[in-house]
A = this chain, B = another copy of it.
Amino acid sequence: MGHSTALLTDQYELTMLAAALRDGTADRPVVFEVFARRLPEGRRYGVTCGAHRLLDAIEAFRFGPDEIDIVGNFLDDRTIDWLRSFRFAGDIDGYPEGELFFPDSPILTVRGTFGECVLLETLLLSVLNHDCAIAAAASRMVTAADGRMLFEMGGRRTHELAAPSAARAAYIAGFAVTSNLEAVRRYGIPGAGTSAHAFILLHAGLAADPEATAFASQVASMGPMTTLLVDTFDVRTGVAKAIDAAGPDLGAVRIDSGDLGRHARDVRAQLDDAGATETRILLSGDLDEYSIEALRAAPVDGFGVGTSLVTGSGAPTAGLVYKLVEVDGIPVAKKNSEKATHGGEKRAFRRIDHHGRAVAEIIRPPKSPPQPTLRELQASLMRTGVRTYRETLADMRARLATGLQSLPAPGLDLTPGTPAIPTSMET
């Protein structure tokens, strides 16, 4: 980012720091944990996403003169001096990106002094709540698409600076391409694009047939392997003009409205009759995992997904919380009502049976004896403030694909259900 991330936080973290510096508790060694009390309603698994973005943001969490100007309005001099030289110097372990998670999975464990750990709360939750929400929705769409290509095109339906992160999460979950150029630049995700109805309408008044004129222009500019948008007026005549313009080597047609399944079948027949047997059919228009699954029998080669992806398909935030679980070696926990927490540092494992199937998420105390059927889930992400975790997006994609295959059968159902595997807390 280049900029400091230190103000992407909540005021109370700084006032808690000030009180802790004053009463001598700011340097107590603590352990914080990130977890979800529950998955979004009916979801069977969560997907971790955002650790690389988070580590970048932590490295940029420094208080320069601009940040001190703001926090100086409500903090004492001692706290301000402490902040001037602050950098996070603790340890972070966590589930790597593309890992599955379940209720109470400790997807991140942060160790350090109270002062340094409390300051990261909001930044850390913002990154992970957003990215995990998008990755989980995207993963369900990938399952629904059953091998057909998914095209991320939701940038216009989310905050302009959230859009590249959403594209990244979708790619980790298995989407093939993104329309978002900032995601192309920042993350090297393959970019793609088709055309909009506006491009057809632009040619109104110039020729007898604006659609044919626009198609010819697009093919002249992009070559016949381009994707022509055929539903501006009438799909059948649109497809005929598309073939006229590009010939049977036309790359693809996109249909963005109407009864998509019926259109796909009709258009496939029309394309095949015209010898355009390799021309692909792409569908878009308010698709989500359910409508994608419903189109499973239709002759579709790919789906463009926007709104439902970037809004988490009904679950726009992952419900992750950041809780203090240990102070100076003593487990601590909030005891009140529905928000009670499990005190103490934990290690997380997945029990795998001899067929390679995931059976349970096992959360154990740090010094529990090893067991051969348990795969450890956390990796080292940061040591004394220095990042220790770097992976490629391809690694993360592969991890998620493998993880999904390991789930017991109902785990991939899109219908509402309980978590695919139970979480067991060993104390």
Q: Show the binding face of A for B, using Cβ within 8 Å.
A: 2-3, 5, 7-16, 18-20, 22-23, 25, 28, 30, 32, 57, 66-67, 69-71, 73-74, 76, 114, 118, 121-123, 125-127, 129-130, 153, 155-165, 179-182, 184-185, 191-199, 201-206, 213, 217-218, 220-222, 231-235, 256-258, 285, 307, 310-312, 316-317, 322-324, 327-328, 330, 332-339
The contact sample of 17 A-B pairs, CB cut-off 8 A, is: A10-B180, A12-B196, A19-B221, A23-B220, A23-B221, A25-B206, A69-B185, A70-B181, A125-B157, A129-B158, A157-B317, A158-B162, A201-B332, A204-B327, A232-B334, A233-B334, A257-B337
CA distance A198 to B257 in the complex (A): 51
CA distance A199 to B117 in the complex (A): 12
Is A155's CB under 8 angstroms from B335's CB?
Answer: no
Is A160's CB under 8 angstroms from B336's CB?
Answer: no
Is A125's CB under 8 angstroms from B234's CB?
Answer: no
- With A12-B196, A217-B20, A335-B232: A125-B179 Cβ-Cβ less than 8 Å: no
Is B160's CB under 8 angstroms from A5's CB?
Answer: yes
- With A30-B202, A199-B16: A156-B125 Cβ-Cβ less than 8 Å: yes
Distance in Å from the Cβ of A330 to the closest Cβ of chain B?
5
Is B197's CB under 8 angstroms from A324's CB?
Answer: yes
Is A257's CB under 8 angstroms from B316's CB?
Answer: no
Among the listed B19, B32, B312, which residue makes an inter-chain contact with A199, where contact means beta carbons less than 8 Å apart? B19
* Stoichiometry (number of copies): 2
Residues in B whose Cβ lies below 8 Å from that of A28: 202
Is A195's CB under 8 angstroms from B122's CB?
Answer: no
Among the listed B155, B220, B339, which residue makes an inter-chain contact with A22, where contact means beta carbons less than 8 Å apart? B220
CA distance A337 to B390 in the complex (A): 48
Is B121's CB under 8 angstroms from A196's CB?
Answer: yes
Look across to chain B and name the residue whose beta carbon is closest to the beta carbon of A15: B193
Look across to chain B and name the residue whose beta carbon is closest to the beta carbon of A19: B221
CA distance A180 to B126 in the complex (A): 12
Is B199's CB under 8 angstroms from A156's CB?
Answer: no
Residues in B whose Cβ lies below 8 Å from that of A198: 16, 32, 114, 118, 121, 323-324
CA distance A231 to B339 in the complex (A): 10
- With A16-B195, A155-B126, A161-B161: A335-B233 Cβ-Cβ less than 8 Å: yes
CA distance A404 to B377 in the complex (A): 52
- With A156-B126, A311-B317: A8-B163 Cβ-Cβ less than 8 Å: yes
Residues in B whose Cβ lies below 8 Å from that of A206: 25
Residues in B whose Cβ lies below 8 Å from that of A285: 339
Among the listed B180, B193, B197, B336, which residue makes an inter-chain contact with A257, where contact means beta carbons less than 8 Å apart? B336
Distance in Å from the Cβ of A63 to the closest Cβ of chain B?
11
Is B10's CB under 8 angstroms from A71's CB?
Answer: no
Is A155's CB under 8 angstroms from B336's CB?
Answer: no
Look across to chain B and name the residue whose beta carbon is closest to the beta carbon of A12: B193
Distance in Å from the Cβ of A189 to the closest Cβ of chain B?
11
Look across to chain B and name the residue whose beta carbon is closest to the beta carbon of A318: B157
CA distance A217 to B114 in the complex (A): 15
Is A11's CB under 8 angstroms from B202's CB?
Answer: no
Residues in B whose Cβ lies below 8 Å from that of A164: 8
Distance in Å from the Cβ of A24 to the closest Cβ of chain B?
9
CA distance A323 to B158 in the complex (A): 18
- With A121-B196, A218-B19: A157-B181 Cβ-Cβ less than 8 Å: no
Is B19's CB under 8 angstroms from A122's CB?
Answer: no
